[in-house]
Structures are given as C-alpha cells and as structure tokens.
Amino acid sequence: MGRNALVCVGMALVFGTVHGCSAGNSGNDYGKAPDASVGGQGAGGDAGTDSGPAGFAGEAGMGDGGVGAGGQGGAGEAGASGSDAAVDVDLSYDAPTADVEMDACATASAEGQPIPLDIYLMQDSTGSMSLNLKWSHCVTAINGFVTSPSQTGNQLALKFFDSDISADCTGAYYATPDVPLTALPVPGGNNPIQQALSAHSPGGNTPTEGALRGIAQYTSSHQKPGRTMIGIIVTDGDPTDCDTDIGNLKNIISQHYNATGIRTFVVGMIGATFSNLEQWAIAGGGLQHANYCSVGINPCHFYNVGNGDPQAFIAALQQIQKNAVACSYQFPKTDAGLVDPAQVKVTYTPGNGDPPQELTRVQDATQCVPGGWYYDNPGPWPPDPKTINLCPQTCNVVLSDTNAKIDIALGCLGS
C-alpha cells in the first residue's frame, strides 16, 4: 500500500489525500460553523422521507423536524441509510513555524486505517430458540461470520443468555463471557467459538435485563485504546424474567450509550416484538438503515433476520460491523511523530455545496454536542489519542449526507 489514506467509512473504503507541510497555512483552516443550524444534506430515505436539510444543532438545541435553533430541519434523521453513506476523508498537515520542525513535518506522512472492532455478542439461548430451526441457523451464521477473512483484526467474545440456571438481574453473570475475546477470523472446524456453540442447547426463559446489564458492564470495562467496542444482543422473544418493562430496559441501554459512547446493536428473530427492539436499537445508538427491517418499521435501527437464515444473519452482522466504525478514525501518526493533538482540526463539508464547517472538539463522549468530536483518550493533558470519534449527533448527520467529506488537519508541534 502507498501512503494514501485508507479509511473504512459506512459501507465503502474511500481514499483521502495526505498533504505534506509547507510554510504558512495549509489551506484547511476553514473557520468555525455558525451557532445556528448549518446544513447537512437531507438525502431522501427508502421510506420516502422529506429531503430537507438536516444540520448540526446550534446553541438553542434541536427542533422537532431536525436540528437547529428552532429552524425548519429535515425529517428525522435525514432519511438516508447510514450504511449507504460513503464519506471521503482527507488527512492534511498544518505547517510548523520553526525550520527544523518544518523539515521534519515536510518529510512525514500519515495513513488512516479502519478501526479494529471488539464485539461482545449476547446470544439468546432460551427455549423458544429450539423452534423453527432458529438455533441451528444461529450456529451456522455465527460460525460463518467469525471464520470470514473479512474479520481480520477484529475480536469477538460470546455469551449465551437464558434463565435455565438462574435469572441474574444484576448483569454480573452475563458480564462474564462463555468465550473470551478471541482474535478473528478463527480457523474453520475446531475453534473455541464453534465448540461453545456446539456444546450449548436452548432452554429456559428470557432475562433480558440481566443480558443488557451484562453487555454494559463487560463492554465498558474492556474498552481498549485504538479499538472500537460494541455490544450485540440477538433475541427471539420478549423479556420474561427480571424487569420486563420495555421503557426501563431502554433506559439501561441509553444510559450506557450516553455515558460511554459504546453502541448496543439489536438483532431480532421471529417471536420478538420488533417495535420494542426498534426502541432499544435507537437507545443504543444504532444507525438508521433500510435493510433487514420489518413491516411497518422501515427504515429502522434494529436488524430483523427472521428465523435466523444464515445468509441474512451474516449480512446483518457485517452491516453492524461496518456501521460500528463508520465515524471513528485511527489517529494518524507522522513519521517524525510531531503531531500536536491540541491543534488537530476536523472539518465537515456538506455534499450539497454548503461551506465547510469546523467541528468542535469536546472532552469525551459524555460531553458530546451536535457538531462535536472527541478523542478516545482525552487526558490528562497532553492526551495520547488512538482514535478520532465523531459524536453521535454528528455521525448521524454525516452518514445521512451521501456526498459528505470529513477533513482531518494534523497540526504539527510548534505550529
């Protein structure tokens, strides 16, 4: 591979250009966006939503139809499928002032790379999974996913949830995986994940509260710099044990997401109430898409794989994988190692021709605002970031803009 920047965004791998340093300004200093709503392009969704602009909210917050200071926003989340967005990413350098630093920076280069993914897969193994070949299909699909060469660099931990032994509502039991984080792809045939799937059989009721708390506890305690952690819950039924209130369960997911920025993706099978799963998926930061939805819920945020048809199940898992890293970029390092995190600038250029908008760096995921971004490792200062992450609101706007462009200008030390 050359020194062009390769970044995995949405459903596409796109190339950005790496510019060397020169004296003076790099030309990417676009200035800050105004406080009022500024436009991301509201691409029409498959469900026929309006094509009006959906932009970042200003200081006054969000309006009913979109975002902005009480302005007329686009419809909802701009209607477009997040996984269909191809966002161009450009990495450039701001020139340093000292000659020795300029020379070092001028010879430096950077390369953006896809963010490796850590997955905590919470698989429903309750009694109803034995019906309609659902369990057999799940075993086939998960094996196909974890043995695929496309998973190189990713890791997966596996946990089964049911109340055959006990209904642990605190999440402690479900925060301990049956298979710990395992490097993917695993070899076909005999591997720890396949062994666990083959040795397990469905039985018991559905302690969804315990499973969701287990996802929150495990993912928050196993985050690693330079990697993206997500949870995936696969279920074919409504909760029967522990707290069964759908709103309370949604709050468990949203509180985890808002506090950590870790997404929880939801995969549903025949037997589950899909409207409940849609609420949970939205609460967990799931991105809007038009594939694997259900009648009356399209576009959607969860994934409907029916009776677990392996082809659909694997495709849904792969789409989750791509969406999970769509708005995260590895922090590029120059050969000279002179990048100053305090001077990095991230700029969003809408695909409708509107002026570029410099995004706002916030301390961490808990401080996110519309139009914001943050480092995975913010401090103590100076930080040692491994990734640049768009805030959820920013990510939704960018992914709904099919011609969006993200520029990352790397300020050199001394500039």
Q: How many residues does the chain have?
A: 415
Co-location of 44 and 67 in the same domain: yes
Where a domain ends, among 279, 297, 324? 324
Co-location of 359 and 292 in the same domain: no
Co-location of 78 and 205 in the same domain: no
Residue 297 has pLDDT above 90, yes or no: yes
**For helices 274-283 and 246-260, what crossing angle results, to 10°?**
20
Query: 62 falls in which pLDDT band (50, 70, 90)?
Result: very low
Cα–Cα distances (Å) from 325 to 180, 263, 410, in that order, read: 21, 10, 21
Give me the pLDDT at residue 376, please.
85
Co-location of 56 and 100 in the same domain: yes
Co-location of 367 and 225 in the same domain: no
- What digits encode the pLDDT tens for the residues 187-245? 887 899 999 999 998 999 899 999 999 999 999 999 998 889 999 999 999 999 999 99
Domain of residue 133, residue span: 117-324
| Distance in angstroms (rounded) separating the CA atoms of residues 5 and 3 | 6
Domain containing 176 — which CATH number? 3.40.50.410
Co-location of 55 and 157 in the same domain: no
Co-location of 190 and 291 in the same domain: yes
Q: What is the CA radius of gyration of the chain?
A: 22
Q: Which of 404, 405, 409, 402 is nearest to 388 (CA)?
A: 409
- What digits encode the pLDDT tens for the residues 303-326? 999 999 999 999 999 989 888 887
Where a domain ends, among 273, 297, 324? 324
Co-location of 282 and 363 in the same domain: no
Contacts of residue 257, Cβ cutoff 8 Å, sequence gap at least 6:
263, 264, 283, 284, 285, 392
What number of CA atoms fall less than 13 Å from residue 297's CA on the CB side? 19
- What digits encode the pLDDT tens for the residues 253-291? 999 999 998 999 999 999 999 999 999 999 999 988 888
Co-location of 146 and 260 in the same domain: yes
| Distance in angstroms (rounded) separating the CA atoms of residues 148 and 318 | 10
Co-location of 249 and 385 in the same domain: no
- What H or E segment, with its residue span, contains residue 257? helix 246-260
Q: Are 92 and 405 in contact (CB under 8 A)?
A: no
Of the chain, the end-to-end C-alpha distance in Å amounts to 29
Q: What is the dihedral of CA 48, 52, 57, 59, to 10 degrees?
A: -140
Co-location of 106 and 162 in the same domain: no
Neighbours of 282 (CB within 10 A): 20
Distance between alpha carbon 65 and the CA centroid of its chain, in Å?
24
**Residue with more model confidence, 167 or 107:** 167
| Number of structural domains the chain divides into | 2
Where a domain ends, among 324, 352, 370? 324
Average pLDDT for the chain: 76
| Distance in angstroms (rounded) separating the CA atoms of residues 45 and 67 | 17
| Distance in angstroms (rounded) separating the CA atoms of residues 340 and 325 | 24
- What H or E segment, with its residue span, contains residue 147? none
Co-location of 374 and 297 in the same domain: no
Distance between alpha carbon 404 and the CA centroid of its chain, in Å?
17
